Structure 1
């Protein structure tokens, strides 16, 4: 994985309706980012790699910083910190991961995320 600013698009799996988008900064094993309602911090490790591709994995904690304006929209995390683990592949300036988020310490949900590098840092 190259250090940089990445866009991220997340889709929940296993029949759960939910998605989110935002940006992430990846730099030397540290991950920081967020969007209009959530922010995340974590770490990642690069595994097996070729010239422009390889595998990576990591973990992150996500928190809500702004409530939804629509009272009928309920965040999957219920305003509590959620921790996630992920693994995936990267190639050139793109990456894909699959992971599991643990919500409130007792409910696990699967997700898929795609990343695209926007800028060097």
Structure 2
């Protein structure tokens, strides 16, 4: 995974209804990002063709017109997937409280850092 700024588009699986988008900065094993209501921090590893990591999500702003997918609680997401030239597809599981939701995401590089 090249260091850079990536757009992220996420959808829930297994009959849960939810989707979201935001941006992530991948830089030397560290993840930082966010969207209108949430911020993301985490770490990742790669072997050139696969990506694995953990993303921690927390709320920075209370939404007024929509219910947050995770009820405004901090969430940990373990993920893994395949890396292409300019994008990656990943799957993961969000853990919050005693609940879990499976997710699928597409990451597209929009700007290089190096």
Which has the higher mean CA deviation after the structures are superposed, 73-82 or 13-22? 73-82
1:44 positional shift: 0.3
Q: How many residues align?
A: 113
Cα distance in 2 for partners of 1:100, 1:112 equals 9
Q: Aligned-residue CA RMSD in angstroms?
A: 0.8
Cα distance in 1 for partners of 2:37, 2:105 equals 17
Select the structure of larger CA radius of gyration.
Answer: 1
Moved over 4 A (4+): none
- Partner residue, 2:101: 109
Work out which of the residue numbers 63, 78, 90 in structure 2 matches 1:85: 78
Cα distance in 2 for partners of 1:31, 1:111 equals 18
Q: Which sections of structure 2, spanning at least 5 residues, go unmatched?
A: none
Query: Which secondary structure state, in structure 2, belongs to the residue aligned with residue 83 of structure 1?
Result: strand
TM-score (norm 2): 0.95
Cα distance in 1 for partners of 2:28, 2:86 equals 16
Cα distance in 2 for partners of 1:11, 1:43 equals 21
TM-score (norm 1): 0.90
